[in-house]
Amino acid sequence: MFAHSPILGAIISLALLTGPSAAAAAAVPDSMPALQPRTTSGIDMNAACRWQYDDSYTSGTIGSGCYDWMCWKSGEQSGGLDLNAWCRHMHGPQSYASCSGGRYNWVCNY
């Protein structure tokens, strides 16, 4: 038999208070940090045109605005450029394209 002592009682009480459940609770974070959105440094418009049409296409603009980009083949205008589709192709299904401030400010957000 053990003789009861104040030190042994304190150790047992402390062990009960900080037992396995306390250790498990401390291992779980209060919250997970949110994923930070990422942005590319720019969109390669020639690559986007080649992907959307074929390798004979290049990009060009018909003005200075964000939405003035077109794809061209042998000097003929082909049509618009789906930059949201390009961003999804490059960075996954949640990606999208955005532009602010002029034609050279397109980025993919993912």
User: Domain span at residue 90?
Assistant: 40-109
Phi, psi of 58, rounded to the nearest 5 degrees: -130, 165
In a domain, 30, yes or no: no
The H-or-E segment that residue 79 falls in is: strand 76-79
pLDDT mean over 15-31: 52
Per-residue pLDDT tens digits for 33-46: 666 778 888 999 99
Using the predicted structure, report yes or no on whether residue 18 has a pLDDT greater than 60. no
Domain count, the chain: 1
In a domain, 66, yes or no: yes
In a domain, 64, yes or no: yes
